[in-house]
Amino acid sequence: MILEKVINKIEIQSEYKDFVDTYIDNLLTEFKGKIHSIYMCGSIPKGTATPFKSDADFTIVCEDPKEFDYERLSKIKDKLLQEYPILTKIDTVICSMEDVLSKPNEWGFWVKVICVCVYGHDVGEQISPIRISPEFILDLNTDTKEEVDHIHRLLSTASDHTMQVRYIKGYSKRLLRALYSLVLEDTGVWEDDMVTMKNVILDHCEIDPTLVDDLYACYLDSNVSVEEFLEIADEAYRYFENALRVMAASRASLD
């Protein structure tokens, strides 16, 4: 099966159009000549964003991410968050053209399937159709352990309650996405609606349903204690890691 694009048509709501245009203009002015293309994913380009609850997710593709001054990027985001309080946060990922083209099952998947191009030439068009397979799922999760370990450390050491809530929400979402990736061969599509994602995991994964429900509850309401959340998250990740290990062993036996 071929993975279809999550967002086929950009439908940015009127409340967000000025922000999107302003942010892109700021990026192009501040990093003139360094940006190849800009992408969005999530609720804003889908037209399903909720004011004061939704965040903005951007991806910048460039020749060399090291050329970007991340402090200057943070200042732009902080300024616009004050000007557009309907946003909860602005996330911006930066990757290279080489990353997208040389890692089709990782960065290529992100740009081609998850994101939609809002500026420049869509490099995702250069990526061959992505077929769902155990190899793809394993490649897709190449960096999952590193990402989970990173956010685990951040959450474990965060003393500010606001940051704890943010990390718990992001951590639970990342784990749910990882669990969902395990069942792609059953679904045939990448789902980015969290309710649907949770229900599909329950239908197809041999995992304790209470664990999935608890993880989703933490995503919805991140005011749970750090200790309680980490207990849930660690158990969910152990299931995911074991399932991935079994998948890798099965693939190796066929080689």
Q: What is the pLDDT of residues 27-86, one digit of tens each?
A: 999 998 999 999 999 999 999 999 998 899 999 999 999 989 999 999 999 999 999 999
User: Starting from the edge strand earliest in sequence, which strands make up the sheet with 90-96, in order?
Assistant: 90-96, 56-62, 35-41, 116-120
pLDDT of residue 23: 97
Q: How far apart are CA 90 and CA 79, in angstroms?
A: 11
pTM: 0.85
Q: How far apart are CA 236 and CA 178, in angstroms?
A: 10
pLDDT of residue 53: 87
Q: How far apart are CA 147 and CA 55, in angstroms?
A: 20
Confidence of residue 253 (pLDDT cuts 50, 70, 90): low
Confidence of residue 222 (pLDDT cuts 50, 70, 90): confident
pLDDT of residue 1: 84
pLDDT of residue 148: 92
Q: What is the pLDDT of residues 9-31, one digit of tens each?
A: 999 999 999 999 999 999 999 99
Confidence of residue 250 (pLDDT cuts 50, 70, 90): confident
pLDDT of residue 204: 93
Q: What is the pLDDT of residues 163-219, one digit of tens each?
A: 898 899 989 999 999 999 999 999 989 988 899 999 999 999 999 999 999 999 999
Note the maximum CA span of the chain.
Answer: 56
Provide mean pLDDT across the span 121-139: 94
pLDDT of residue 32: 87
